[in-house]
Amino acid sequence: MDWQAFALSLRLAAVTTAILLAIAVPLAALIVLGRGRWLAAVEALATLPMVLPPTVLGFFLLVLLGPRTAFGRGIVALLGHPLAFSFDGLVVGSVIYSLPFAVQPLVAGFASVDTALVDAARLLGAGPVRLVSTILIPLARRSLLAAVVMSFLHTIGEFGVVLMLGGDIPGATRTLSIVLYDQVEGFNYAAAGHTALLLLGLSIFALALIYSRTRSHGVAPRDA
Amino acid sequence: MLSFSLNAHRGAFHLQVEGAFAADWTVVFGPSGAGKSTLLRLLAGLDNPRHASIVLDGRALTDSAARLCLPPGHRQTSLVSQQPALFPHLTALANVAYGLRSLDRAARARRLDEVLQLVGATGFAGRRPQELSGGQAQRVALARALVAQPRVLFADEPTGSLDTLTGEMVMDLLVGMAREEGTTVVLVTHDARVAAYAEREVMVRDGRVLNPASSQVEVAQ
């Protein structure tokens, strides 16, 4: 078992999830509470990484963050090194790639909060920040949990973007998914089986956590 | 005095009204779909009208020409609806306290105590909304709407979901609290018994006020 890759995957997933939450909560609140047709474009843009092939996204990011573009050269001037083939670059790619998995559950959760409660909070003087922190998040906490777990898991299992943008550098960009790929490529099926089982176990644990927290107990009786 | 001139669209519905609420108690009458609730939402600042001028005691709340529309919590108005819309994750006390952020701790506690006593909710202040009866929940909603001492309270069928006896009790409370607090009440109702609490009557039909302030009709008490 490549514990270095395991630790790197966990670190990448944790950092990505934290950044995603900071971005996705206000973005989802804007999509649900905002007015204007341009919000449909914002929502579509936030969903785009879900339907875009990961290798395509990885390629675009590789080009954008590389030294051939002004943006990439700006990054080098700022950080002293290119983002491509670095852990920081992986974080950027993971945040973009996993964005829909954080935004979508939050949009669904916020949208399910009764608008009468939102109106009541606004009438009582709540601005956007207070409205989100005291009403939307507590009432959509299951969606928040789903967003956290989905973002974390999606990042752990990411392959295409990681390979295109980060390559396979031990300790820097080699995640569990890359290790699994290397093991299969080297016909080391026993080790690949262990790595795959670890990824499977993580997924099952996370999904069990979501469903144990979000599933209502029993079937509610319907009104006649 | 609350004076207004509104021109608003909501889907296929068009509301174009002018008027003023000068009395302490005004009832807004009209058939379903006439625009009564829309009128209250616009006046409370929950919806933005296309063209509007809303002035409360000489202070502009909405002025489309000047691109001004104060947010609902900054208009010195409040609104209670048929459904109490209490925050389900907060206790009755926390619901009422939600609108009292500007006061210091001691003043806040005093005001909360005062309002909860006014509505008779001290006995169940620690309960969550799902543990309250319909009448209790509406009393908490009233306390929440009035705790910050709004100048005008809009009430949209506040007893619509209550039985007659509870509805009368809530209305008596509303009257008592409004008098105690010096709050102007603008009430939408279909119920003639509830309407009888008002000093003035305004009829809204097809998105228009038929008898604006100058021709308001006295309601027999």
Query: What residue of B is the nearest CA neighbor of A114?
Result: B85
Instruction: Give A210 or A202, the one with higher predicted confidence.
Output: A202
Residue found under tokens 């999904």 = A207
Q: Is residue A12 pLDDT above 90, yes or no?
A: yes
B2-211: CATH number = 3.40.50.300
State the Cα–Cα distance between residues B151 and B149, nearest whole angstrom.
6
Q: Which of A114, A122, A134 sits opposite B46 (nearest CB)?
A: A122
User: Chain A to chain B, count of Cβ pairs less than 8 Å apart?
Assistant: 52
Cβ distance B78 to A138 less than 8 Å, yes or no, reads no
H or E element in which residue A62 lies: helix A54-65
Give every strand in the sheet of B68-69, ordered side by side.
B13-21, B2-10, B51-56, B59-63, B68-69
Cβ distance B89 to A122 less than 8 Å, yes or no, reads no
Average pLDDT over chain B, rounded to whole? 83
Determine contact, residues B219/B46, Cβ cutoff 8 Å.
no
DSSP readout, A117-164? HHHHHHHTT--HHHHIIIIIHHHTHHHHHHHHHHHHHHHHT--HHHHH
Residue among B170, B180, B159 at smallest CA distance from B115: B180
Residues of chain A found within 8 Å of residue B99, distances taken between Cβ atoms: 123-125
In the structure, how many helices (H) and strands (E) does chain A have?
Answer: 12, 0
Q: Is residue A19 pLDDT above 90, yes or no?
A: yes
Average pLDDT over chain A, rounded to whole? 89
Give the confidence band of B212 by pLDDT, cuts at 50, 70, 90: low
B122: left (phi over 0), alpha (psi -120 to 50) or beta: alpha
Cβ distance B85 to A117 less than 8 Å, yes or no, reads yes
Determine contact, residues A110/A43, Cβ cutoff 8 Å.
no
**pLDDT in the model for residue A95:** 95
Cβ distance A125 to B74 less than 8 Å, yes or no, reads yes
Residues A170/A171/A174/A175 CA torsion (nearest 10 deg): 150
> Chain A: nearest CA to B79, how far in angstroms?
7
Q: Is residue B207 pLDDT above 60, yes or no?
A: yes
Determine contact, residues A132/A26, Cβ cutoff 8 Å.
yes
* pLDDT one-digit tens code per residue, B25-74: 888 887 787 778 888 898 899 988 878 888 888 888 988 888 888 999 89
Query: What residue of A is the nearest CA neighbor of B80?
Result: A120
**pLDDT in the model for residue A165:** 86
State the Cα–Cα distance between residues B139 and B134, nearest whole angstrom.
9
Give the confidence band of B13 by pLDDT, cuts at 50, 70, 90: low
Q: Which of A114, A125, A134 sits opposite B73 (nearest CB)?
A: A125
State the Cα–Cα distance between residues A100 and A24, nearest whole angstrom.
9
Cβ distance A121 to B98 less than 8 Å, yes or no, reads yes
Q: Check CB contact of B101 with chain A, cutoff 8 Å.
A: yes
Average pLDDT over residues A158-181: 88
pLDDT over 70, % of chain A: 95
Residue among B57, B48, B64 at smallest CA distance from B1: B57
Q: Is residue A49 pLDDT above 80, yes or no?
A: yes
Give the confidence band of A200 by pLDDT, cuts at 50, 70, 90: very high
**What domains are there in chain A, each with its CATH number?**
3-213 (1.10.3720.10)
Q: Kindly list the domain boundaries of chain B, sorted by start residue.
A: 2-211
Q: Is residue B202 pLDDT above 70, yes or no?
A: yes
Residue among B193, B201, B207, B206 at smallest CA distance from B219: B201
Cβ distance B81 to A125 less than 8 Å, yes or no, reads no
* pLDDT one-digit tens code per residue, A126-157: 999 999 999 999 999 989 999 999 999 999 98
State the Cα–Cα distance between residues B130 and A138, nearest whole angstrom.
16
Q: Is residue A163 pLDDT above 90, yes or no?
A: no
Average pLDDT over residues B84-108: 92
State the Cα–Cα distance between residues A37 and A195, nearest whole angstrom.
46
* pLDDT one-digit tens code per residue, B119-149: 888 999 999 999 999 889 999 999 999 998 8
End-to-end CA distance of chain A: 57
Q: Check CB contact of B46 with chain A, cutoff 8 Å.
A: yes
Q: Which of B78, B87, B148 sits opposite A135 (nearest CB)?
A: B87
Q: Which of A116, A123, A134 sits opposite B73 (nearest CB)?
A: A123
Neighbours of A41 (CB within 10 A): 10
* Cβ density class B33-57: b for 16+ within 10 Å, e for less: ebbbbbbbbbbbbbbebeebbbbbe
Q: Check CB contact of B153 with chain A, cutoff 8 Å.
A: no
Give the confidence band of B7 by pLDDT, cuts at 50, 70, 90: confident
Tokens of A48: 């785009």
* pLDDT one-digit tens code per residue, A79-133: 888 888 889 989 999 999 999 999 999 999 999 999 999 999 999 999 999 999 9
Question: What is the number of alpha carbons within 13 Å of residue A216 lying toward its C-beta?
Answer: 4
Q: Is residue B221 pLDDT above 70, yes or no?
A: no
- Chain A residues within 8 angstroms (CB to CB) of chain B: 114, 116-117, 119-127, 134-135, 138-139
Instruction: Give B69 or B194, the one with higher predicted confidence.
Output: B69
Segment among A111-115, A165-169, B121-125, B205-209 with least mean pLDDT: B205-209
Determine contact, residues A12/A94, Cβ cutoff 8 Å.
yes
